[in-house]
C-alpha cells in the first residue's frame, strides 16, 4: 500500500505549498488517478510519493508518506528505489544507458540483485510486458511508446510495491496509450499499488479504480471509476477534465 497523510510540499523560493495537506491511499492491486487542471499539484504529489520532493527537489516537506507501512522519510535512497518504481512524463530524462537491455537492468544493478536473478527477472519482465522485441535495441531509435515501455520495464524488474507515473501518456499516440494501460494492468495483477497523475484519462478506463481531483494543491473530490464515468460532460467541463470514455 502507498499512503500519504497530511503531505505538504513547498518548493524553495515559493510563497505557498504546491501540495497541501494531501491524504490518500492506494491499496495493493489498485490504480488511483490524480486529475485536475495544470498547476493543481498532481506532479508534486507524485514527487512526494516517490521521495523526490525534499531530496532531488529542494523545499520544505511536511506530513508522512508510507510504502508497505514503512515511512519513506526513514528509508535510504536505495530502499526507496526498491519499493517505489517511477515513470516520468519524458522517459529520456530517466535513461542512463544507450541500449534497452542495459537500461532495463540498470535499476537491478544498483540494487545489487544477483546476476542469475537479474537474468531471470529480465526474461520474466519481457514476457509479462510483451516487450521481447524491444530487447538489445538502440534506445534512441525507439518510438515514444517503446521508450515508455522500456522505462516501465526498468521499474518492473525491481519488483516495487508501488508505481508512481507522472503524465506518462503525454508523448504517446493512441496505440501506445493502449499498451501503457496494459502495462498498468499487469502491475496491478502483480499486486502493486499504482498512482498515476494524468490529463488524458480515456486510456485508463479499464485500468483505474478511483479518480482523485485536485485543485490549488489540495484534494477536493474523489470518485470510484464507475462514478467518474457517470459524470456529465457539463460537470467534467466545470472541473476542467477530459472525457474518461475512449473514442467510439
Q: Give the pLDDT score at 248.
A: 62
What number does CATH give the domain 2-239? 3.40.50.300
Q: Please state whether beta strands 31-35 and 210-215 pair in parallel, antiparallel, or not at all (unpaired).
A: parallel
Neighbouring C-beta atoms of residue 93, cutoff 10 Å:
8
**DSSP element (H, E) containing 129:** helix 115-129
List % helix, strand, coil for the chain (3-state, nearest 5): 40, 25, 35
Give the pairing of strands 2-11 and 19-26.
antiparallel
Ranking 2-6, 34-38, 40-44, 143-147 by mean pLDDT, the lowest is 143-147
Burial degree of 55 (CB within 10 A; 0-12, 13-18, 19+): middle
Q: Is the pLDDT of residue 101 over 90?
A: yes
- The pTM for the full model equals 0.92
How far apart CA 224 and CA 208 sit, in angstroms, is 9
Residue 124: count of CB within 10 angstroms of its CB: 13
Digit-coded pLDDT (tens) for 182-200: 999 999 999 999 999 999 9
pLDDT tens digits, 36-74 = 999 999 999 999 999 999 888 999 999 999 998 889 888
For the segment 104-121, what is each residue's pLDDT rounded down to a tens digit?
A: 999 999 899 999 999 999
Amino acid at each position: 500500500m502507498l499512503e500519504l497523510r497530511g503531505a505538504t510540499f513547498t518548493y524553495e523560493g515559493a510563497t505557498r505549498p504546491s501540495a497541501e495537506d494531501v491524504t490518500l491511499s492506494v491499496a495493493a492491486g489498485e490504480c488511483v488517478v490524480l486529475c485536475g487542471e495544470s498547476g493543481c499539484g498532481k506532479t508534486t504529489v507524485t514527487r512526494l510519493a516517490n521521495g523526490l520532493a525534499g531530496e532531488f527537489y529542494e523545499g520544505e516537506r511536511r506530513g508522512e508518506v508510507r510504502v508497505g507501512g514503512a515511512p519513506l522519510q526513514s528509508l535510504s535512497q536505495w530502499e526507496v528505489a526498491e519499493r517505489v518504481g517511477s515513470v516520468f512524463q519524458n522517459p529520456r530524462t530517466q535513461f542512463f544507458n544507450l541500449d534497452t537491455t542495459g537500461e532495463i537492468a540498470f535499476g537491478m544493478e544498483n540494487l545489487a540483485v544477483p546476476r542469475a536473478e537479474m537474468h531471470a527477472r529480465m526474461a520474466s519482465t519481457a514476457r509479462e510486458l510483451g516487450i521481447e522485441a524491444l530487447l538489445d535495441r538502440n534506445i534512441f531509435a525507439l518510438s515514444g511508446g517503446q521508450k515508455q515501455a522500456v522505462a516501465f520495464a526498468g521499474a518492473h524488474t525491481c519488483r516495487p510495491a508501488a508505481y508512481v507515473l507522472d503524465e506518462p501518456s503525454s508523448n504517446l499516440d493512441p496505440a501506445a496509450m493502449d499498451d501503457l494501460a496494459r502495462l498498468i494492468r499487469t502491475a496491478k495483477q502483480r499486486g502493486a499499488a499504482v498512482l498515476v497523475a494524468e490529463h488524458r484519462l480515456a486510456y485508463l478506463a479499464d485500468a483505474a479504480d478511483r479518480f482523485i481531483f485536485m485543485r490549488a494543491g489540495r484534494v477536493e473530490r474523489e470518485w470510484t471509476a464507475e462514478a467518474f464515468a457517470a459524470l456529465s460532460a457539463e460537470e467534467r467541463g466545470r472541473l476542467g477534465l477530459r472525457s474518461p470514455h475512449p473514442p467510439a
